[in-house]
Amino acid sequence: MSVEVGSKVIGKVTGIKNFGAFVELPGGKTGLVHISEVADQYVEDINEHLSVGQEIEVKVLSVGDDGKISLSIKKAKEQKPKPRPRRESSPEDFEKKLSSFLKDSEDRLSTIKRQTESRRGGRGKR
């Protein structure tokens, strides 16, 4: 079986080093999951996440000219975000929201003006 970039496959952890884990892929090829591709959060000790003999799902990130295969566990788990359904709004809804916003904005401005004038000592000129 050839390893294709972007494909997700099940592999078996064959070795763990402080920089990552070696994973045997179907077809007998071996790839490396770098420690930065193990989990979404910072991984200080890879042994807390993986163990030799464990079967894991990985995504093939790249296959180098020299045959080195780069893998990722966290990208294999990623799912595309589901699009939210668009809610149709009528022009009346927009007008209500705009009117509410303008009223709120005017209220806030008048409050700020009042506070500023009271700090200056009133409305009279000096």
What is the sign, positive or negative, of the torsion defined by CA atoms of 37, 42, 45, 47? negative
| Architecture of domain 8-77 in this structure | Beta Barrel (2.40)
User: Using an 8 Å Cβ cutoff, are 3 and 31 in contact?
Assistant: yes
Nearest to 16 by CA among 30, 28, 29: 30
- Tell me the pLDDT tens digit for each residue of 31-40: 999 999 999 9
Helix (H, G, I), strand (E, B) or coil at 120: helix
What whole-number distance in Å separates Cα of residue 122 and Cα of residue 114?
A: 9
Low pLDDT (below 70) residues in the chain = 1, 79-82, 121-126
State the pTM of this model: 0.61
Contacts of 51 (CB under 8 A, 6+ apart): 13, 16
